[in-house]
Amino acid sequence: MLNLRRVLPTGGGLRDEDWTRRHRLLTVILAVCAGGLTVFGAWRDEVGDPLILVLLMVTLACVVAGRLLSGRRLPSSFVSLGFTAASADFVMMCHGQTEAHFTFFIAVAALALYRDWAPFGMVLLATVVHHALFGLFDATDTYGHHSAQQHPLYWALLHGVAVLFAALFQVVAWRLTETEEARAQASLDKSQAQLGIAFDETPVPMAMISPDGLLLRTNSAYRSWLRLPDELPAGFRVKDLPISPVGTHPRGVLAELVDAPHATVLTRQYRRHDDGSILWVEVHGTDLRDADGNLEMIFVHCLDVTGSRLHEEELRHQVRHDALTGLLSRPGFEGDLAELLAEQSAPACVLYLDVDRFKSINDGLGHAAGDELLRALAARLAATVPAGSLVARLGGDEFVVALPGPLEAGCQTGRDILAALTEPLPLNGGHLQISVSIGLAAGRAAEQAEDAVLAADTAMYAAKRAGGNRLQVFSDEMRVAVKERIAAEARLRAALAGDREAALPVWFQPIVSTATGRIVGAEALVRMFTPEGTLLGPGHFIPAAEETGLVVPLGEHVLRLAVRHLVAWTNQLPYISVNVSPRQLAEPDFVPMVASVLAEHPGLDPSRVVLEITETALLGSAVDVRDRLEAIKDLGVRVALDDFGTGYSSLTWLQSVPADVVKLDRSFVAGLAADPRKSSIISAVLWLARSLNMTVVAEGVEDPDDWKALQAAECPSCQGYLFGRPLPASEFELMLPFPEAARPRQLAG
């Protein structure tokens, strides 16, 4: 019995929507059959038979019962009974013809669609009862052969078994379908369980939302993130969530997800209702659609990106603002200035500020005090400039202010800044008086932003050269100077990128013995040939080289070329001196570079190479000058102090500089013969130099009387146009075999 139950279908396994669809279909078919029987009976003139009318009424009543009754078993059983009654009525109208009995077989196959034993059994039972009763009372119209007419009950049962066997394939199909569905359901249940675990246990907040905003399902991470209860009330919708969007969005997030044709990612800012905190949410929405493309639900997973957005905002703030002062940084200022110029048709003013003698303050009081001073200056600037102005620190002690308005407004702001700085700034519990140099320029369009800053920078340097603590407005003359500087930089870059020896030749000016006028050395001086063949002196490109840093590769080129000529003139020229710029001296690779140049010429005596360093370069250098000079001298190279007397020098200052040569500036030499005070200064320098084992070279000697005065003072060496101008290497070489050629013509002999 148990084995039989395993073999037979269970029944009743249809989903509600599938059962309803099939029941509706069978009910409609039964109603059509009732209508068809009525027409068929009227055509055959059989509707007058009371029994036929009763069966027809039973069929119609079963249609009504199947339509109105609730549940499954009862309405399906009435439909089954109705099909049996319709089949019996059809048999009676056909006077028991054998072919008419096939309707019972059709009915039982149709009722197998219910996949339920109640209607299936009802049609079998009703078939047997019909044949038994009608066989007893009207055997002739019920059975078409003598044996059935004689034994109607036996043949009724036999007919029911025949109908059952005829429906056997439906039963087998029913059972196989149940088996396949059970297997598919088990697989589906397993998959749903796995997906359910993945959905419910994942730490990412996820939800399933209907297109009208109903929350169909949420996972624990979603509920925990939004602080929702584990069981949401029925009808809970997106609008009921304890968060609301910040700002105005023309359309809600749900509407955007519903209208999106594909997977969408939206990032929005929300405010929590419980604590008022702000959070950023990245919503990933994926639409789930039916076979017709209609949206059924939206699967969303939410990422709380508040931390990363705050970090991004912090990074943007750090990029846009100076860490020391809190003002705008260079990138932030450049972007805001371009926007300021783009938003208005009127001009905007740019003021470029630089603290006068800030290096002295920084070195004297320390970097911490310098930083405190810059913060105090930033606060004073922000409080002084008009509201809405852009205030930035570009780096070091350089600040810039931009404000809308004509040059008159910029001039007034510049004067206000100078006036505000007449009050000392707080520093280390005390106060310090400072001054600034200010350059002013105007810009009119976003594309002029960089040019306006550059122009203001140029004007600021003009103010600084004029003594500082003043405002200088950019002029057309300065614009020409800027263009020339840019052109000089371009020419220098092209020369360094091409054939350096041809484009940047090194010329030589003789250094002679004061006593004899014979050449004892030479100073290497660089020149430049333009692509058009024009020869340019150092004044046309050295300032640009210093400002851009190109002086570093340029200085290395000059040193290498000068040393190469020195090696070629080994028996003719005692030494060559090469100028070194402050920028070169500050380079950490400078000393190793000099060492590599010497290493290329192993037979060269390093003392034949003299590096000239200006006194102002020593004072303004950011490196430890003494250590750097000692490292140079450790290579065997000699050091010369160039332009001595033009800066902050004093005779005692020579004692702190490890120099070998002192080059007296031309301002001490010109007119020496007629000025006793200059003679006294030179005598003092010569005395101190000899006591410190230094030698002296007097620069700018052009007058024979000055040469005689230097001879009288026993100055060792001289240099100047009196003995020779700078010459190309090929022409200078012609002077070397005949040292007397270097003497002035009027003094020879």
Nearest to 480 by CA among 507, 462, 493: 462
Say if residue 171's pLDDT is above 90.
no
Q: What is the pLDDT of residue 1?
A: 46
Q: What is the pLDDT of residue 100?
A: 64
Instruction: Supply the mean pLDDT for the chain.
Output: 82
Q: What is the mean pLDDT of residues 434-454?
A: 88
Q: Is the model more confident about 56 or about 594? A: 594
Say if residue 723's pLDDT is above 90.
yes
Q: What is the pLDDT of residue 133?
A: 61
Summarised one tens digit per residue, pLDDT across range 598-626 is: 999 998 999 999 999 876 666 555 456 77
Say if residue 88's pLDDT is above 80.
no
Whole-prediction pTM value?
0.50
Cα–Cα distance measured from residue 264 to residue 282, given in angstroms and rounded to the nearest whole number: 10
Q: Is the model more confident about 280 or about 415? A: 415
The total number of residues shown for the chain amounts to 749
Predicted confidence band of residue 221 (pLDDT cuts 50, 70, 90): confident
Summarised one tens digit per residue, pLDDT across range 321-375 is: 888 999 999 888 988 888 888 887 778 999 999 998 887 787 778 888 889 999 9
Q: What is the pLDDT of residue 11?
A: 60
Least confidently predicted of 247-256, 415-424, 489-498: 247-256
**Highest mean pLDDT, choosing among 35-44, 312-321, 411-420, 452-461:** 411-420
732 burial (CB, 10 Å; 0-12 / 13-18 / 19+) is buried
Phi and psi of 455, rounded to 5°? -65, -45
Q: What is the pLDDT of residue 351?
A: 95
Cα–Cα distance measured from residue 702 to residue 24, given in angstroms and rounded to the nearest whole number: 124
Say if residue 303's pLDDT is above 70.
yes
Query: Given the DSSP bridges, would you call strands 717-718 and 506-513 parallel, antiparallel or unpaired?
Result: antiparallel
Summarised one tens digit per residue, pLDDT across range 365-404 is: 888 888 999 999 999 999 999 998 999 999 889 999 999 9
Query: Which DSSP helix (H) or strand (E) runs through 383?
Result: helix 367-384
Cα–Cα distance measured from residue 617 to residue 536, given in angstroms and rounded to the nearest whole number: 24
Q: Tell me the sheet residues that pair with 254.
A: none
Are 332 and 295 in contact by the 8 Å Cβ rule? The answer is: no
Summarised one tens digit per residue, pLDDT across range 120-162 is: 667 666 666 666 666 555 655 555 555 555 566 666 677 667 6
Query: Given the DSSP bridges, would you call strands 576-580 and 609-614 parallel, antiparallel or unpaired?
Result: parallel
Cβ atoms within 10 A of the Cβ of 465, count?
10
Say if residue 13's pLDDT is above 60.
yes
Domains of the chain, start order: 2-177 (no CATH), 202-310 (3.30.450.20), 326-474 (3.30.70.270), 488-742 (3.20.20.450)
